[in-house]
Amino acid sequence: MIAKVREKTFILFFMLSSSFLRANNDLQIKGVLSIDQIHAIEDSANASNRIANGANLNAAQVSFDKGLTNSIHLHLDFSFSKDGKARLGTAFIEKTLFEGLSFKAGQIPSPFSLEASESSKWLVFPSKSLAVSAFSPGIGPGLSVNYWTSTFGLKLAVRQPSFDYYSQYKEDDENYNDRLAFIARFNVSPINTEEQTLHMSSSYTYQNIAKDLSFSTEPEFKTRDKNQFIGTDKIEADSLEIWGVEFAYLWNQFQMEAEYMAAVAEKSEKKYSYSGWHTQVNYTLTGQRRLYSTDDGVFSNPDIKGNEQAVQIGIRYSHLDLNSTHSSTKDSDSANGGEETNISFAINWYIKKSLKLTGAYIKVDATKQNETRKPDVLLLRMQTTF
């Protein structure tokens, strides 16, 4: 019932917003389309459980940005699945009080983590890291504030999780739990010159969750079928806390970065503790430097000008531990979802600013209880943006 009310609210929000979209002609339309070709080699898996080779629609998204006044703008984002169905993503109105302070209201993104805050079209690798995919809070209806200067940024948000994130709603005759979440991210760049950028940040989220909770993730690639080599069963919890720290250093065309995340779910005397991290380096062979935004605390694509082309290479080591390390739950089968490591090599060829070809190799090593998966995956991607 509640989910239907929320869905109708966003439909009304969109209908009202559409009248503004038609009012003037200062509408910006952006989008991304990426298609993958996957070839996986694996000896250990059963034939019925092998990774599906072949083509896959990785992303098809379109977004609309409309200035309603000089200080208010509307943002709508839609993604399209392989069967042609459209899904509403972020949908919010943003008010800028002055340069350095803005507010968002609607279905907002969560200000959490470096990779989670970056657009997927800016990533060096085909997918976000294991820990980011497993722990990042996602999107949901709420309010957020963003304050920034030339050296640091602070984002705060209060919101509900989206319909399908982490777990389902808790509703009974006695109580309804809105599962409100608080998210915060602070980023600082004490060095930010034309040659060097030093980025440091920390994130935190506290969430009042529903009765059942689970964690899982796919490897750092996607196919037509869902591949989940590790994941917990449903565990009972009343609250969830996630911490994250991140570091990045950009020196001309060379960049290194690392992120660490820890998640703790709790109910009464039981605690479930999980963690994950990744470290990576990338280098632009053609000399361009990745762009950096202080207000958002994120990196984007290499700074390609005019008809320039760019070639970028990168290597990443990523690890996720979904076996609970807390003494009260470490022997519970439902709390132990396994461990996974991905090693990724990627090369990106920017034929032009809006067209990128990616080649990647991903080495997966995943173990859940007595089952081990070790596929080698080759990926080719075509991505175009507008």
Tens-place pLDDT, residues 270-290: 889 999 999 999 999 999 999
- Cα–Cα distances (Å) from 18 to 14, 174, 260, 285, in that order, read 6, 39, 41, 44
Whole-number mean pLDDT of the chain? 87
pLDDT at res. 165:
47
Average pLDDT over residues 60-88: 90
Structure confidence by residue, pLDDT tens digits, 332-355:
777 899 999 999 999 999 999 999
Instruction: Report the alpha-carbon distance of residue 146 to residue 154 in Å, rounded.
Output: 6
- Cα–Cα distances (Å) from 316 to 40, 57, 218, 292, in that order, read 19, 23, 16, 20
Q: Which amino acid is at 92?
A: F
Is a pLDDT exceeding 90 seen at residue 15?
A: no
Instruction: Report the alpha-carbon distance of residue 156 to residue 10 in Å, rounded.
Output: 22
pLDDT at res. 167:
42
pLDDT at res. 5:
45
Instruction: Report the alpha-carbon distance of residue 380 to residue 139 in Å, rounded.
Output: 29
Q: Where are the beta strands (DSSP E) in 139-289?
A: 139-148, 152-159, 170-171, 176-177, 181-192, 196-208, 212-213, 216-217, 230-231, 235-236, 239-251, 254-267, 270-284
Structure confidence by residue, pLDDT tens digits, 25-59:
578 999 999 999 999 998 765 655 788 899 999 99
Whole-structure pTM value: 0.87
pLDDT at res. 169:
43
Structure confidence by residue, pLDDT tens digits, 158-179:
998 664 444 444 444 445 455 7
pLDDT at res. 3:
47
- Provide the pLDDT confidence category of residue 88 given band limits of 50, 70 and 90: confident
pLDDT at res. 174:
45
| DSSP classification of residue 125 | S
Please name which of 173, 164, 174, 182 lies closest in space to residue 87, comparing C-alpha atoms: 164
pLDDT at res. 295:
87
- Cα–Cα distances (Å) from 247 to 178, 197, 281, 292, 346, in that order, read 34, 11, 12, 13, 21
List, in order of start, the domains of the chain with CATH numbers. 27-385 (2.40.160.10)
List of residues 6+ apart from 33 with CB closer than 8 A:
59, 60, 61, 383, 384, 385
Structure confidence by residue, pLDDT tens digits, 310-327:
999 999 999 999 999 876
Structure confidence by residue, pLDDT tens digits, 290-307:
999 988 999 999 999 999
Please name which of 240, 229, 231 lies closest in space to residue 206, comparing C-alpha atoms: 240
Instruction: Report the alpha-carbon distance of residue 156 to residue 199 in Å, rounded.
Output: 19
Q: Which two tokens stand for residue 120?
A: 């997927």
Please name which of 241, 238, 250, 354 lies closest in space to residue 292, comparing C-alpha atoms: 250
For residues 220 and 243, the answer to whether their CB atoms sit within 8 Å is: no
pLDDT at res. 235:
85
Strand, coil or helix: 5: helix
- Provide the pLDDT confidence category of residue 208 given band limits of 50, 70 and 90: confident
